[in-house]
Amino acid sequence: MRRRQVIALLGSMVVSPLVARAQQPSRMRRIGVLTGFSLDDQVGLSLLAAFREQLAASGWIEGHNLADLDIRWGDAADPRRLRAHASELTRTTPDVIVVHGARALTAVHNETDRIPIIFASVTDPVATGHVTSLARPGGNVTGFTNYSGLPSPKLLEALKEIAPDIQQVAFVITPDNPARARQLEAMESVAQSFAVKVAGIVSRDRNDIRNRIAEFANTPNGGLVVSSDVFMITHRDLIIAAAAQHRLPAVYQDRSFVAAGGLMSYSVDRKDSYRRVAQYVDRILRGAKPGDLPVQQPGRFEFVLNLKTARTLGLEVPRLLLVRTDEVVE
């Protein structure tokens, strides 16, 4: 064998193992998910579909370089179940954990200060102590808020436009929502400019929701503003039915209510938020630290109106309100 051939052969013997290792896929990465939605809730399923879609677009394919998502479906009314899921999930030590809502975030963060946590739909993570600041969260937590932290004036503005006789509004929220007091205070402040009084309806379970709305319905010229936490979204059919029964105009902080027959909603585009969560997960899996990724506020809001429900309630939709609507449900 000629000298040149021998050198080439030896070179290939040295280089080929390195090339082979470089061509091998990296280890299978693992993502845990904890949500307060139940397994059969269409809202939770649609958000996860958007999350998976963006993961795939970023190059993370389940069964290829990503293990099947480890999804734990909770029950927003059962904090013990969320805590149990959080404990189980952290013990499996995934590369990153995605959580939906403040309760799920608290449950997981209490279990680990090491595994990266990316949250969706949390109102004020600074006030609850989960991050140091929005710009530089520090620690192992970052994510996306569901709105700027306080109820938008657009909620009451839309309600007064479609039902100008409204004089009192009930803000429906759960007692363990960590931002409850601040949100109610902000709602009361906003209501002054619309000459509307605000009462808080704090509901713990299905019967409580039904009874409290029925009690409020005795107030003349009343309307509802319904918060967007998982508990309320999970019980949207009950809330919509109660509003219809008592002929209460209502505005919701999640579009799923309108799709199910509610009057109107002004809310963040949650699917867009979940796509952005997936982008953060991608950055974490590629080496970024959660504490260096700023907490981001919503990128897109949408106003949705159900014309059929408006007609059923005998409400005339002002033209200017209709023009501002992003989507009309017939």
Chain segment 172-218, per-residue pLDDT in tens = 988 766 666 777 887 888 888 888 999 988 888 889 999 999 999 99
Torsion of CA 160, 297, 32, 259, to 10 degrees: 20
pLDDT at 178: 65
Residues of the chain with pLDDT below 70 are 1-26, 76-77, 147-151, 176-180
pLDDT at 228: 83
Q: What is the DSSP string of 219-266?
A: STTEEEEE--SHHHHHTHHHHHHHHHHTT--EEESSTHHHHTT-SEEE
CA distance 58 to 52: 10
pLDDT at 26: 61
pLDDT at 124: 82
pLDDT at 14: 43
CA–CA distance from 156 to each of 7, 149, 231, 261 (Å)? 80, 16, 22, 19
Q: Where do we find the tokens 């280890």?
A: 27
pLDDT at 227: 87
pLDDT at 264: 96
Does the model's pTM come out above 0.95? no
Residue 95's closest CA among 112, 114, 109, 115? 115
Contact 162, 315 (CB under 8 A): yes
pLDDT at 297: 87
Residue 136, C-beta contacts closer than 8 angstroms, at least 6 positions apart = 291, 292, 294
pLDDT at 58: 97
Walk me through the domains of the chain, giving residue ranges and CATH numbers: 31-147+269-299 (3.40.50.2300), 153-268+302-329 (3.40.50.2300)
